[in-house]
Amino acid sequence: MLRAMNSAISGLRNHQTMMDVISNNIANVNTTGFKSSRVTFQTLLAQTIRGAVPGAIGRGGQDGIQVGLGMAIASVDRLNTQGVLSNTSKITDMAIAGDGYFIMTDGAKKYFSRDGSFDLDQTGALISPATGLRVNGWMASTNAAGQKVINTAMPPSAPLTIPLGAGVNAKATGGVSFNGNLNGSSTDLLGTGVIEDTDIANIGKTAFAVSGTDTVTFTYGGVTYTTAALTAVAKGAVVADLATSLQTAMRAAGGAATVGISVTVADAASVAGDAALVFKGAKALSFGTSPSSALDLGSVLKGRASTGLETMTTSFVAYDTLGMAHEVTVKFEKQVATASGVTPAIANNTWKWSVANLDAGTNIVTTGTTGTQASGFVTFENAGKFQSVVTATATAGLTNPAETSNLTGARVTLQFANGQAQGQQVALDFSRMTQLQDGNTVSAVENDGYPTGTLTSFTVGSDGTIMGSYSNGVQEALGQIALATFANPGGLLLVSQNLVAQSANSGIPQVGVPGIGARGQINNGQLELSNVDLSVQFTDMIRAERGFQANSRIITTSDEMLQDLVNLKR
């Protein structure tokens, strides 16, 4: 009977421990990052009354007789399942989606936690406001190129600091990228591509020669016409002959001959001495796509229209070494292809780019060391994709050997007149531009320069990277949060304030970047709720109550039996 009472006492005591665990789980049902626990039981040693007897000839064996001596707690296990993530919209709140723990430090000892309800202290350090412990990670540093980098190969020994209000120095513009389209429609100003005369003052007296007879197919006002055969003529008569032939072709087809098409000669403006034919009409005018090669003008007129060379202008902001902004204008002009053997050679689908002076001439743009306005040529493939770009010198056109190898952009030099560093080199990247039938849409989309600014806000990425946003639009990495995982997270020691500590059976912390390996990702603006399931806890509470109640009945019954035993003497 005493043995029964002792067993019942062990049942009472350990079911009370089970109730204690359940009570703690329910008490922490709303504790951030809390992990519920469970109790498992095991039997104690049994008293052997008779040992087992093996069987013999003609007789079977006998089992041993043992009486159990009660029960004990086998373990109190922590259930490290994922808790529900709740949105808080607070930028310093963080939740871990997956395995891992935040690393917290007081400067001497490290702790670990799933509670990501952080804030910034007066120094900008990322801390747990409940404990004052600082969050560990990697701080960004500046490399030799002036870029912010995070070295996650080193242990994350530095507390993370986010210095809101801190300034960032200006960065001089060193490169600008352009995106968009240059109108790939037929050009409007047409030239033979032959340098007829270097006397620009008398270019109007220059004409073009036709070396043989041919016809010209053209479309005017939506109607297609073909001229009679042109007669070979020398310079000085081709302009009048072309105009007459076009008018005659329309008249022969019943078109309105009173609406004239004028043909004049003008400087092509791209290269000294290059003449061009200018066609003007009241209706849309274009030329046939397959003229005979016998006509000198054939390769030029092929597929062209006549309302003026296509041009467009865009601009970008250049920041100097002091952070001052200067507007730079870039102009693109469609070019007329030159004939074979003509220098400089201008291919089809070529545009001239030029950069205007800065600040009304106070600060100038130069090309290389020539001291002239920066300009050059960008060429596209027949399919409209970027092909190449060169920067021209003052005298050699496209023959600058220092620039012809630069196939993804052009280079200009900015000369400032107000104390900034001189000779600022800026690379213009045209490689993302196209030449398609889609209008002119080119604009600067990337600029590596910026003025001074202050840190106004930050965000935390899924990999723990803290990106700072400055008032000047610059975004750069400030640091990165580290996470730790353990081979046996159930072996971690519970300490107060939602913290756990490493134990002899938890394994050493495996520290690294969130989202890599077994480590979970960071969810910014969220907190992980407790994983306590009240339905399970209430069910376990009933089990614990019934177990406790039943064991108490054993004690009561044993007591009555002892009382009966004592009464035998009376």
pLDDT band at 249 (very low <50, low <70, confident <90, very high): confident
Q: Average pLDDT in the 521-542 region?
A: 95
**Distance of alpha carbon 360 from alpha carbon 10, whole angstroms:** 95
pLDDT of 464 reads 94
Write out pLDDT tens, residues 360-369.
556 667 665 4
Q: Average pLDDT in the 44-69 region?
A: 86
Counted residue by residue, the chain has a size of 570
**Distance of alpha carbon 538 from alpha carbon 380, whole angstroms:** 75
Q: Is 222 left (phi over 0), alpha (psi -120 to 50) or beta?
A: left
Buried/exposed 497-513: b ≥16 CB within 10 Å, e otherwise = ebbbebeeebeebebbb
pLDDT of 507 reads 92
Identify the CA nearest to 80 among candidates 14, 139, 36.
36
Strand order across the beta sheet in which 285-287 lies: 223-226, 217-220, 285-287
pLDDT of 395 reads 41
Is residue 85 a contact partner of residue 55, using CB atoms and an 8 Å limit? no
**Distance of alpha carbon 245 from alpha carbon 247, whole angstroms:** 5
pLDDT band at 563 (very low <50, low <70, confident <90, very high): confident
Q: Average pLDDT in the 236-252 region?
A: 73
Q: What are phi and psi of 404, to 5 degrees?
A: -65, -20
Write out pLDDT tens, residues 325-350.
888 889 998 876 665 555 556 777 88
The residue with greater pLDDT, 111 or 5, is: 111
pLDDT of 239 reads 64
DSSP-H helix ranges across 168-237: none
- 72 burial class (0-12, 13-18, 19+ CB within 10 angstroms)? middle
Q: What are phi and psi of 252, to 5 degrees?
A: -65, -30
pLDDT of 344 reads 57
pLDDT of 566 reads 84
Is residue 285 a contact partner of residue 261, using CB atoms and an 8 Å limit? yes
Is residue 245 a contact partner of residue 260, using CB atoms and an 8 Å limit? no
3-state secondary structure of 482: coil
The residue with greater pLDDT, 268 or 407, is: 268
- What stretches of 268-349 adopt beta strand conformation (E)? 275-280, 285-287, 311-319, 325-334
pLDDT band at 26 (very low <50, low <70, confident <90, very high): very high
pLDDT of 343 reads 56
Q: Which residue has the tokens 């990670």?
A: 137
Identify the CA nearest to 463 among candidates 476, 479, 487, 474.
479
Q: Which domains does the chain have, with CATH numbers?
A: 2-80+531-567 (no CATH), 85-169+454-528 (no CATH), 170-185+310-451 (2.60.98.20), 186-308 (no CATH)
The residue with greater pLDDT, 533 or 226, is: 533
The residue with greater pLDDT, 79 or 287, is: 79
Write out pLDDT tens, residues 111-130.
999 999 999 999 899 999 99
pLDDT of 33 reads 94
pLDDT of 370 reads 46
